[in-house]
Amino acid sequence: MKFQMRLDSFLKKNRIIKRRTVAKEAIEKSYVRRNGQPAKPGTKLNPGDKVEVRFANRTTTLLVKEDFSAELISENPEDHHS
């Protein structure tokens, strides 16, 4: 059986978001996407998945590695122009 990890646990384990409860709230508010799609806190991640996290001033895109560590793919500042 292939090992998977919950999205909220992945964010906490890799210190993207320091507390799992805060990670859960961010996911529920649609600040986090898996492979470009909205996700739920319990969404199972697989190696190779891409996770996008939208912060107040930037969007960070991460690649889920085989050991469920995170590899930074990109970090783009938010454009606040209309």
As given in the structure block, the two tokens for residue 25 are: 């709230």
How does pLDDT run across 22-34, given as a tens digit for each residue? 999 999 999 999 9
CA–CA separation, 47 vs 50, rounded Å? 9
| Confidence tier at 2 by pLDDT (50, 70, 90) | confident
Domain boundaries, the chain: 5-77
As given in the structure block, the two tokens for residue 76 are: 């783009």
How does pLDDT run across 33-61, given as a tens digit for each residue? 999 999 999 999 999 999 999 998 999 99
Q: Which CATH number applies to 5-77?
A: 3.10.290.10
Q: Which helix (H) or strand (E) holds 8?
A: helix 7-13
Determine how many CB atoms are found less than 10 A away from the CB of residue 32.
26
